[in-house]
Copies of this chain bind each other. A is one copy, B any other.
Amino acid sequence: MKGGIVYKFDSYRIALEVLEFLKSIGFQAEIIENWSDAFMYDFLVVVGGDGTILKLLQFLKECPPIFGINTGKIGLLTHCEPDEYREKLRDALARFEVERFMRLESTVENQELLSLNEIAVLGARPAKLIDIEVFIDDVRVDEIRCDGILVSTQIGSTAYALSTGGPVIDPKLESILIVPVAPFKLGWKPWVVKSDKRIRIEFDREVFVVADGHKTIKTDRSPILIKKSKYYAYFFKMEDRMERIVKKLRSIR
């Protein structure tokens, strides 16, 4: 089995250590310079933060299981801190138990975007409201003038959607969360729907469509269609994911 190592620009030294460590416990391993090749490995170790993992996932449709070593700020998607990776990584590889999380597939002007956390549709001009209509399985559930809207997975509920009044959703409760950014309206609600629902977002002026904060398309071509992707993201299993979320959220300054 061959592992690939991906690192955030400031974490190269730790990546080298991980490389040596993997070899020392009997795995083939190499540092991946061209992230487009990441799909070819049997497993991936990411040295970085949630941002690094999300960026990597933009290169992966088929996704080998990921183990994350946190060198970022919060690291909800990572498995451990740099000072404890030896034991945790060895155990994870020994067990090789994985879990997978739904991603969203969004269609924007015939292009497809994949996101683990969320798709954000944001007005392209600062401080100018856009008019957004939200449809769930063709039922028009809301029309809002706002700065934008997020369509998030349960995993994304602790990412951007945390900022917008959404709930924290159990990572194991596969679901889609829909929540506006700065809605100019007295009454609105976040929606949490089953993952088999198809979401349609219509709008009246130019927007940025942003997948996981990493891939951006500028468009004025409405609508955007969003549904569960068949390409899951795979991670090494984390027993205490809920507990970890609780602790990490507390630690946000």
Contact = CB atoms under 8 A, between A and B. Distances in A.
Interface range, A side: 35 or more
The A interface is mostly helix, strand or loop, or mixed, namely mixed
Interface stretch (A102-110, A138-146, A224-232): A138-146
Interface in A113-153: 120, 122, 124, 126-128, 136-137, 139-143, 145-147
A95 interface: no
A210 B120 CA distance: 22
Contact of A122 (B126, B162, B193, B210): B126
A169 B192 contact: yes
A181 interface: yes
Nearest to A191: B168
A181 to B, nearest CB: 6
A242 interface: yes
Nearest to A216: B126
A124 B127 CA distance: 11
> Chain copies in the assembly?
4
A128 B213 contact: yes
A86 interface: no
A242 B170 contact: no
18 contacts: A126-B216, A127-B160, A127-B213, A136-B242, A137-B242, A139-B243, A140-B246, A145-B253, A160-B184, A162-B189, A165-B165, A167-B167, A167-B189, A169-B191, A169-B193, A185-B252, A185-B253, A186-B249
Given A157-B192, A169-B193, A170-B197, 10 more contacts: A127-B160, A136-B242, A140-B246, A167-B190, A168-B190, A168-B192, A173-B173, A184-B252, A185-B187, A186-B252
Interface of A: 120, 122, 124, 126-128, 136-137, 139-143, 145-147, 154, 157, 160, 162-170, 172-173, 175, 177, 179, 181-194, 197, 208, 210, 213, 216, 240, 242-243, 246, 249-250, 252-253
Top 10 A-B residue pairs of the complex, sorted by shortest distance between their CB atoms? A187-B187, A186-B187, A163-B182, A167-B190, A170-B193, A127-B210, A126-B208, A163-B184, A139-B243, A169-B192
